[in-house]
């Protein structure tokens, strides 16, 4: 499939010259003559590269670039700013607008083709990464869908745990990891048969052993994807307990990564406030009371639990509010 390039320039002669050259090289080329139509074309065509003239009447190239980079669906699309001015100030302005590269007018055609090819190659890599992540997310959500009682669990966990991470001032990378882990933390349940996953009564010891495999299996499913590096410890350790009585590695206290300690609070809270095959859900305050007892027993990080409780009580988590909407309740596995 040929790669798609969008040329944005108010001068039709410049557009035509670039179009002819790039078409000859096998690219699919589209054009726009102003900022507004460029943004519309960007949203509908999903180009693999945008060649964007800086000097245009109305919305200039810097502003168009800023808007492209501000939209989550187009932020990874490479933008090359074409400018007649090669002064440093404009380069800095372009970098601040999120431009990926620059070309000066008059355009050197060999340079144009070399940069176009290398940026498009880079875009292919990021597309592949996004596809791989999307596959993992769909697998995780299809596993969640096996159990009608856990509907929306992944989404609520992603929201609650990343929100707590933000409130605690965690690094952006950790907050992002919490969001991803919220979705994929139970992906290893792919190895747990329905007869066990959906069993209404308490699990037998051998059945529990099967369930206990899911953090390690989940870690190995996500391990090949490099960007999931910070997510792996969360997946592996989301069932550890502060006193070492959890699984799979019986880690204790601060040995358990802080991101895993955060996610497990959201996981337990969501389990308590949602009906499960083996019990009815608890109201928010009853659930927090149960978790408070468990923190006293040494299961959860007391400091983190207090911060979590404060967040839930303040209503600073859209996902937590679902608990208030539920009428009845009681405790999780």
Element (H, E) at 103: strand 101-104
Number of chain residues interacting with Fe ion (CB under 5 A): 1
Nearer to Fe ion, 122 or 139 (CB): 139
Residues 184, 227: Cα–Cα separation, whole Å: 13
Q: Which stretch binds Fe ion (CB under 5 A): 29-37, 38-46, 184-192, 272-280?
A: 184-192
Nearer to Fe ion, 7 or 235 (CB): 235
Q: Which stretch binds Fe ion (CB under 5 A): 72-80, 139-147, 155-163, 186-194?
A: 186-194
Instruction: Using only the alpha carbons of the chain, give its radius of gyration.
Output: 25
Considering the complex, what minimum distance in angstroms separates the CB of residue 253 from Fe ion? 20
Instruction: Give the number of residues written for the chain.
Output: 333
234, 185 Cβ separation under 8 angstroms: yes
Considering the complex, what minimum distance in angstroms separates the CB of residue 209 from Fe ion? 14
- Helix-strand-coil percent breakdown of the chain, rounded to 5? 60, 10, 30
The residue nearest Fe ion at its CB is 186
DSSP line for 4-28:
EEEEE-S-HHHHHHHHHHHHHTT-E
**10 Å Cβ neighbour count for 227?**
14
Considering the complex, what minimum distance in angstroms separates the CB of residue 160 from Fe ion? 15
Considering the complex, what minimum distance in angstroms separates the CB of residue 208 from Fe ion? 12
Identify the residue among 48, 186, 219, 270 touching Fe ion (CB under 5 A).
186
Distance of CA 116 to the CA centre of its chain: 28
Nearer to Fe ion, 31 or 186 (CB): 186
Nearer to Fe ion, 186 or 282 (CB): 186
- Residues forming the site for Fe ion (CB under 5 A): 186
């Amino acid at each position: 499939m040929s790669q798609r390039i969008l040329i944005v320039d108010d001068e039709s002669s410049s557009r035509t010259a670039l179009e002819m050259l790039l078409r000859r090289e096998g690219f699919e080329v589209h054009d726009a003559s102003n900022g507004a139509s460029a943004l519309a074309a960007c949203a509908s065509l999903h180009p693999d590269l945008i060649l964007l003239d800086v000097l245009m009447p109305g919305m200039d190239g810097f502003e168009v670039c800023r808007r492209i980079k501000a939209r989550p669906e187009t932020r990874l699309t490479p933008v090359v700013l074409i400018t007649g001015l090669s002064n440093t100030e404009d380069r800095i302005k372009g970098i601040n607008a999120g431009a990926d590269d620059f070309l000066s007018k008059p355009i050197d055609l060999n340079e144009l083709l070399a940069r176009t090819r290398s940026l498009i190659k880079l875009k292919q890599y990021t597309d592949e990464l996004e596809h791989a992540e999307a596959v993992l997310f769909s697998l995780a959500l299809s596993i969640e869908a096996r159990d009608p009682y856990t509907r929306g669990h992944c989404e609520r966990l992603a929201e609650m745990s990343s929100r707590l991470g933000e409130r605690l001032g965690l690094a952006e990378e950790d907050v992002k990891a919490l969001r991803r882990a919220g979705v994929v933390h139970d992906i290893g349940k792919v190895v747990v048969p329905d007869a066990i996953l959906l069993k209404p009564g308490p699990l037998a010891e051998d059945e529990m052993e099967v369930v206990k495999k899911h953090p390690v299996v989940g870690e190995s499913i996500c391990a090949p994807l490099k960007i999931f590096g910070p997510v792996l410890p969360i997946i592996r350790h989301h069932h550890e307990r502060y006193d070492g009585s959890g699984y799979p590695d019986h880690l204790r206290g601060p040995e358990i990564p802080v991101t895993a300690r955060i996610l497990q609070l959201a996981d337990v809270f969501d389990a308590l406030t949602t009906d499960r095959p083996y019990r009815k859900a608890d109201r928010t305050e009853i659930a927090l009371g149960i978790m408070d007892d468990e923190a006293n027993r040494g299961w959860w990080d007391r400091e983190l639990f207090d911060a979590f409780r404060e967040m839930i009580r303040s209503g600073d988590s859209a996902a937590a509010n679902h608990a208030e909407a539920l009428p009845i309740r009681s405790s999780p596995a």
